[in-house]
Structure 1
Amino acid sequence: MTTLKNTTFVAFIMAMVSCSKFLDVEPKASISGENIIVDETSANAALNGVYSALRTYYSVDFQSIAYLSGDNIQWTGSQSQVQEFINHQVNAENATITNTWKEIYVAVNRANQVIKNVNELAANVISEDVRKRIAGEAYFIRALAYFDLARTWGGVPLITEPTAGPTDNVGIARSSIEETYNLVLADLNRAEELLQETTNRFQATKKTVRALKARYFLYRENWQQAADYASLLIDDQANYSLLNPYYSFFADGVTGTRESVFEIFYNANEVNPHRGQWQPQQNGGTRQWAPNNTFVNLVNDPTIGGSRSALVAKDNQNRWYGNLYYRSPATDPTYVIRIAELYLIRAEANAQLGKLEEAVRDLNAIRNRAGVPQTAVGTQNELLLAIENERRLEFGLEAHRWFDLVRTGRAQTVLNISDTNRLLMPLPAEQILVDSALEQNPGY
């Protein structure tokens, strides 16, 4: 891959360079300027800023693209731009698209700052173990950010150095989707080398990296690698397991359970806006995201949804609402990777490899936990469809369904999308306007 220039986008860098504080160790920490990491304390504070940026883009905007573009969730609000996702007629001027793009690149730039500056610190101001951990976590977050960019927009401009000024991005074209995914894998490989094999459900470790690698290889249709990496987590039964019943990983205010591989932490000072979007007015929310009738019927069918019916509830107007995010104050974590996903990754990978009995075993582990009847071994196509349907329910209120249908080539059939160009989102119009080197996705 060619050497990448110090680049970023005007829209977010202008905000970054205008910050009066160079480093803020509060939850909304930000990084700007040069030489802000001078020792171990400031390096950890800077890393906190990277996690804060991840927390921001996973709070509403990115996930709303995934929710509303699928077929589980309806929009009850009045903003026509949000309805564009459900109609699969998203415009380049869409505010959610613009915000998501900016927020993800803020995370990228902060990760770049940490990676560069922590590696320049002298040995007498930071221990080698701490240096590796901080850099490894930043590489993981950058990999996740580019993975999310790739599956939303395809190939994007690749930025691997911190931004030095607001004009650094001018003239930088998009890389191909292959180059974008190559960077994701390179960052994951580097993170895996640097991080320790510990268990931490809120910060990246070697185990977290391996879990994201399993997802990465599933998307890249490298079935054996997907199965192998998923097995590394599934076989770690001392630290990860499916909790029974299904709702045990989120009910009663719990966080960081054995079900969780990686979840994003929120607190009373930096709450998760998800809660207000899902909860009805009687609970202090707006219920602008709501399960649609099809999903409600599926999840409430005892033979299909089982204990996953806990994902939905009725308000005092007899309307269904999503109940995965419910806490007050809204300290609900965002679930990025659960062990259930690793089971279903391995099931799908093994089904693609023709290992149908192994695939059924993992699928039934998920179904048993949900309290629904087991699936018998059928044809490969029947099994792949069963896994697709199980993922729809298992991750019903998590950001998977749209991306699952796109990566498997099923979106057009299931969602009745006639234009293949609509399987990728448009680049934000304002980004195209400020840099003519950026090419819009076809069809927009």
Structure 2
Amino acid sequence: MKQNIIQSKLRYVIFIFTAILLLGLSACNKFVATPIPTNVIAASVALNNDASIVAALAGAYASVNNTAPSTITNGVLFSDEVLATNAASSTTILQAQQNTYDVTTDYDFYKNYYQAIYNTNLILDALAVPNTLTPDVAKQVKGECEFLRAFCYYRLINYFGNVPLVLTSNVAVSSKIPNTPVSQTIAQMIQDLTDAQALLPAAYPSADRVRANTYTATALLARIYLQKKDWINAEAASTTIINSGTYTLPTDPNAVFIKGSTETIWQLYNINGFVNFAPTFIPLPTTTVFYQLRPGLINLFGANDLRKADWIKAGTDAAANDYYPYKYKARLATTGDSTEYEVMFRLAEQYLIRAEARAQQNNIAGSLADVNVIRARAKADALIATSQDDMLSKIENERRMELMTEEGLRWFDLNRTGKTYAELFPLKPTFTAKAVLLPYTTEILLANPFLIQNSGY
């Protein structure tokens, strides 16, 4: 990574306890994901007590929050979920939709995720030296940092492939780290998350499930095992969450994405009164639907499927035949507390992970049972399957419907199953095989002479 990028653009102030006090929050309360000033205080000075270390952790969460809107709005364009009718008005939107991004295209993923990684490494380095922290606080913060670091790398490898694996806050070292094989980064992610599982309790450390608990780490592990094709461990991880008794599926799909949903495993704190990307998806009553769900996705839903009725909405007037994502319904700030937070991990996904892992082990009955739990909530007809291939195809479609427009997961699914080119080329004649990975920008490459550009760029 470029040293001056980390020192200027990528650094957030770590010592923000005074600001948090002014906001009336404490180490036990939910974090406020506000931008943090740009000056830096050395870890040896700032991160030596409970208050400062928890405040620093808030900065790490804030860095992840800052990436969320771009992840959603561009991730749905990379795949076959959404068509932006106004794409020609923006070069980056058009490139996302046509998968024609190049070394000048910057979606801020690399910068923001490495900013979060820097913050977590800074905290972890501080925890490794003598300090006056309460042992339980040190344990909790370490587990959350290891989870956040793994989460950032999960996103980075799925966008860029062989990214530098940075495990230190020493910029002189991190700025010279070359591409690391994905397999090595995955091994580190599993190690981090296994540690986090042991360090974090089942109880959430703050309100609203905006900080990680042990099941948050387990949920990410389940995703990673699925990507790694480790079906046994993927099934075991998802089963741990499903059988925990901590989470339940709301009977009403409209209750899935509210702040207090019983299905949520982890969500991002919302300070705006609405989820950041909601205004992009939800048009004004009299305007065109600019982000339209593609017909291939809409047509998957059965006529009686409540997800179609509750999570998809038609435009008005001339746009009456255009449909847009409506999982989050608050377009602007509302009075009082926010009613919706962006959900990152939820129980339904864990059923789908287990269903896929079971199908890959030829446990068709168990796989069907998991999928049908989700379909029953949506009042959709129960599925049957005639073979392993048939079951896997049905799971793919169920993931498209249940997880549509969430975190760009469809893009990740296409890439991990090797179906990206086959599915996208018929829709996008501009799609080429190299586009399964984003390119490193010229700025990033100039910053790190040891970094090799992705093939084809």
Q: Which residue of 1 aligns with 2:158?
A: 151
For residues 429 and 364 of structure 1, the distance between their equivalents in structure 2, rounded to whole angstroms, comes to 47
Residue in 2 that maps onto 1:72: 81
Deviation, 1:16, is 4.8
Letter of the 1:104 partner, please give it. Y
Query: Which of the residues 257, 260, 281 maps onto 1:278?
Result: 281
How far is 1:287 from its partner?
Answer: 5.4
> What letter is aligned with 1:312?
I
Write the mapping of 1:128-167 to structure 2, written as runs, cut at 5 A. 128-164=135-171
- DSSP-derived class of the 1:430 partner: helix
Partner residue of 1:114? 123
Identify the residue that residue 232 of structure 1 maps to in structure 2: 240
The structure 2 residue matched to 1:245, chosen from 252, 259, 263, is: 252
Residue number among 291, 294, 303 corresponding to 2:293 in the alignment: 291
**How has the CA–CA distance of structure 1 residues 47 and 94 changed in structure 2, closer, same or farther, with 3 Å as cutoff?**
same
Q: Where do 5+ consecutive residues of structure 2 fail to align?
A: 21-31
Moved more, 380-389 or 19-28: 19-28
CA distance in 1, matches of 2:13, 2:248: 45
Determine if the alignment matches structure 1 residue 28 to structure 2 residue 35: yes
Q: Distance in 1 between matches of 2:92 and 2:190?
A: 34
Change (3 A) 1:117 1:247: same
Per-residue CA deviation, residues 281-304 of structure 1 (Å, 9 max, x unaligned), is: 239x995433223333434x425x
User: What CA deviation, in whole Å up to 9, does each residue of 1:185-235 have, x standing for no partner?
Assistant: 121122122111225622111111111111110010000000001000111
Change (3 A) 1:389 1:9: farther
Question: What code does the residue aligned with 1:171 have?
Answer: K
Distance 1:286 1:273 in 2: 20
Q: Over residues 234-277 of structure 1, what are the superposed CA-to-partner deviations in whole Å (9 max), with x where a residue is unaligned?
A: 1123x211111222212xxx3131111111111238x6421211
Q: How many equivalent pairs are there? A: 422
TM-score (norm 2): 0.86
User: Aligned partner of 2:98: which letter?
Assistant: N
CA contact (8 A) 1:47 1:138 kept: yes
CA distance in 1, matches of 2:289, 2:212: 32
Q: Which residue of 2 aligns with 1:421?
A: 434
Find the residue that maps to 2:300 and give its secondary structure: helix
Q: Which residue of 2 aligns with 1:302?
A: 303
- The equivalent of 1:435 in structure 2 is 448
1:73-129 superposed Cα distances (whole Å, 9 cap, x missing partner): 111332132122222222121131xx111011111011111111134352xx32111
Moved more, 22-31 or 212-221: 22-31
Deviation, structure 1 residue 20? 7.8
Distance (Å, rounded) in 2 between the aligned partners of 1:105 and 1:368:
40
Taking structure 1 as reference, are residues 281 and 192 closer, same or farther at Cα in structure 2, changes over 3 Å only?
same
Alpha-carbon separation, structure 1, partners of 2:289 and 2:176? 42
**One-letter amino acid of the counterpart of residue 102, structure 1:** K
Q: 2:268 aligns with which of 264, 277, 286?
A: 264
Match of 1:101 among 100, 110, 115: 110
- Distance in 2, matches of 1:150 and 1:307, equals 31
| 1:179 to 1:387, Cα distance in 2 relative to 1, 3 A | same
Give aligned-pair identity as a percent.
25
- Structure 1 residue aligned with 2:27: none
Asked if 2 retains the 8 angstrom alpha-carbon contact of 1:8 and 1:105, the reply is: no
Show the counterpart of 2:72. Answer: 63
Q: Deviations over 1:290-338 (max 9, x none)?
A: 3223333434x425x4334311223333243222223231743221111
Q: Is the 8 A contact 2:63 2:115 kept in 1?
A: yes
Question: Residue 289 of structure 2 contacts residue 315 of structure 2 at CA under 8 Å; is this kept in 1?
Answer: no
Structure 1 residues 175 and 408: CA distance shift in structure 2, 3 A: same
**Secondary structure class of the residue paired with 1:298:** coil
Q: CA RMSD, aligned part only?
A: 2.3
For structure 1, the 5+ residue unaligned runs are 1-6
CA distance 1:112–1:358, shift in 2 (3 Å): same
Q: 1:178 aligns with which of 176, 179, 183?
A: 183
The one-letter code of the counterpart of 1:435 is: N
Aligned partner of 1:4 in structure 2 is: none
Q: For residue 23 of structure 2, what is the aligned residue in structure 1? A: none
- 8 A contact 2:60–2:116 mirrored in 1: yes
Q: Tell me, in whole angstroms, the C-alpha distance in 1 between the residues paired with 2:250 and 2:197.
A: 27
> Larger deviation: 125-134 or 416-425?
416-425
Query: Paired residue for 2:26?
Result: none
TM-aligned CA deviation for residue 279 of structure 1: 1.4
Cα–Cα, structure 1 residues 111 and 212, in superposed 2: closer, same or farther, change >3 Å? same
Query: Partner amino acid for 2:181?
Result: S
Residue in structure 1 matching 2:52, options 18, 42, 51: 42
Partner SS, residue 182 of structure 1? helix
